[in-house]
Amino acid sequence: MERHLDTQIKGIKESLIKMAGLVESAIDKAIRALKDRDVDLAQKVMDEDGAINQLEIDVEIECRSLLARHQPVAVDLRFVMASTKINNDLERMGDHAVNIAQKALALGKSRPIKPYIDIPYMAGIVQSMVKDSIDAFVEGDVAKAQNVCKNDDVVDGLEVQINRELITYMMEDPKNISQALALSLVAKNLERIADLSTNIGEEVIYMVEAKTIKHHFEDVHIKK
Amino acid sequence: MERHLDTQIKGIKESLIKMAGLVESAIDKAIRALKDRDVDLAQKVMDEDGAINQLEIDVEIECRSLLARHQPVAVDLRFVMASTKINNDLERMGDHAVNIAQKALALGKSRPIKPYIDIPYMAGIVQSMVKDSIDAFVEGDVAKAQNVCKNDDVVDGLEVQINRELITYMMEDPKNISQALALSLVAKNLERIADLSTNIGEEVIYMVEAKTIKHHFEDVHIKK
C-alpha cells in the first residue's frame, strides 16, 4: 500500500514539474513574440495552453484518487492539499502567458514605441520564480521557497518602474497611449505570475513546516 | 460518524458564506471609498482584510480535519476539494478589494477626472457574481453557477469599455494619465474578482455534475 502511495506522489510531482516547464516556456515564448513582433509565436502560446489545461485535469484526478485510496494523513495529506493548489496556480499562470501572447498579437502590427528591455528582464525573473517554486516544492526546500517570496518584492518594484516609464511615453505623445496601456497590462500579467509563484512558495513552507495552521489543526484533530 | 461529517460540512459552508459576505462588503466599501474620496473607509477595507485571511485559515483547518477524520469519497470528497479552492478564491478576492482600496487612498487626494459611474456599475455586477457563486455552491445550484460564468463576459466587456473611455481622458490631457491608469487598474481588479467568481461557478458545476473528470476519476478509482 505504502509503495503505491509513493508511486502516486511521485507521479503527481512529475506532472507538476512538467506543467511548470510548459508554463516557463509559455512565458518565454510570449515575451519573445512581443519583443520580436512574431505573431506566429504568439499564436503558438495560445495553441499550446491546452496541454497545460489537460495536465491540470490529470493532476486533479490523481490527487482525488490518492485521497480516496490512501486516506493520507500528516505530511502526505499536506502534500496532496498543496498539490491541488499548486496545480491550480500553474494553470492560472498559463492563462496569464496567454494574455501576454494576445497582447503580442495585437502589438505585432504596430511599430514599438520603445525597445523592450525592462519587460524581458522582468519576465526572466518571473520565469526563475516559477522554476524555483516548483523545485522548492519537489525538494521540500524551505530556503528556496522563502527566496521565491522575497523575489516577489523585486518584481513588484519592476512593475512600478515600468509603469512610471510608460507614463512618460504616454505624456510625450497621445498616440503612444494605447500601446503603453497594453504593455502595462503585460507587466501586470507578469506580476500576477510572480504572485502565483509566491503562493506556491508559501504553500511549500506550510507543507514542510506545518507552522501555525498545523498547531491548530492538531488541536482539532486530537478531539477526534 | 455520518452525523459528525454533516456537521463539519455545514460548518465549512457557513464559514464560506461568511467569507463571501465579507468580500462583498469589502468590494462595496472600496468602491464607495473611491467614489466619495473617503480615505477612512479605504483604510477600513485594509484593516478588515485580516478577518478574511483568518477565515481562510479556519476553513483550511476544517477541510484538512474533515479529510483526516472521515476519508470522504464521491460527492463529499468533491465538496471538500471544492471548498479548499473556493476558500482560496475568496481570500484572493479580498486582496483585490484591498488593491482597490489602496487606489482609493491614493486618488482621494486628487480631484477626480470624471464622475465615477461605470466602475460602480461594474462593481455592482461583480458583487452579485460573488454572492451568486457562493449561493450556487451552498445550494448545489448548477443553473445559478452557469449564470455566474455567463456574467463574466459582461464584466470583460465593461472593462474594455472603461479602458476605452479612460484612453480618451488620457489623450485629452496628459495630466489625467496617472489617475486614468489607476482607474484602469481598479477595473482590472474587478475583472479579476469576476474571474475568481467564475472559477467558483465552474467548481460548483464540477462538484454537482462531476462531468468528464468524474468519469476518468472513477476509472482510476475502480482499479483500487
- Residues in chain B with CB shorter than 8 Å from the CB of A98 are none
pLDDT of residue A2: 55
Task: Report the chain B residue with the minimal C-alpha distance to residue A176.
Answer: B171
Closest Cβ–Cβ partner in B64, B188, B212 for A81: B64
How far apart, in whole angstroms, are the C-alpha atoms of residue B99 and residue A111?
Answer: 33
pLDDT of residue B211: 60
B77 CA: distance to closest CA in chain A (Å) = 8
pLDDT of residue B152: 95
Range(s) of the domain holding residue A10: 2-222
- Residues in chain B with CB shorter than 8 Å from the CB of A77 are 64, 67-68
Burial code (b: 16+ CB inside 10 Å, e: under 16) for A66-102 equals bbbbbbbeeebbbbbbbbbbbbbbbbbbbbbbbbbbb
Q: Mean pLDDT for chain B?
A: 90
Q: What is the pTM of this model?
A: 0.86
Q: Mean pLDDT for chain A?
A: 90
Cell readout for B212 is 468528464
> B137-146: per-residue pLDDT in tens?
999 999 999 9
In this predicted structure, the answer to whether residue A223 has a pLDDT above a threshold of 50 is: no
Cell readout for B52 is 478574511
Cell readout for B150 is 455567463
The answer to whether B163 contacts A170, with C-beta atoms less than 8 Å apart, is no
- Residues A158 and A122: beta-carbon distance below 8 Å: yes
> B70-93: per-residue pLDDT in tens?
888 888 988 999 999 999 999 999
Cell readout for B29 is 466599501
> A52-102: per-residue pLDDT in tens?
999 999 999 999 899 888 888 888 988 999 999 999 999 999 999 999 999
* Percent of chain A whose predicted confidence (pLDDT) is above 70: 92
How far apart, in whole angstroms, are the C-alpha atoms of residue A87 and residue A15?
Answer: 9
In this predicted structure, the answer to whether residue A126 has a pLDDT above a threshold of 50 is: yes
Residue type present at position B26: A
- Residues in chain A with CB shorter than 8 Å from the CB of B65 are 217, 220-221
> A156-209: per-residue pLDDT in tens?
999 999 999 999 999 999 999 989 999 999 999 999 999 999 999 999 998 898
What is the DSSP annotation of B43-69?
Answer: HHHHHHHHHHHHHHHHHHHHHHHHHHH
Task: Report the chain B residue with the minimal C-alpha distance to residue A72.
Answer: B68
The answer to whether B65 contacts A167, with C-beta atoms less than 8 Å apart, is no
B217 CA: distance to closest CA in chain A (Å) = 5
Choice among A46-50, A218-222, B61-65, B161-165 with the minimum mean pLDDT: A218-222
A171 CA: distance to closest CA in chain B (Å) = 5
B121 CA: distance to closest CA in chain A (Å) = 22
The enclosing domain of A180 has a CATH number of 1.20.58.220
How far apart, in whole angstroms, are the C-alpha atoms of residue B93 and residue B197?
Answer: 9
pLDDT of residue A211: 60
pLDDT of residue B2: 55
Count structural domains, chain A: 1
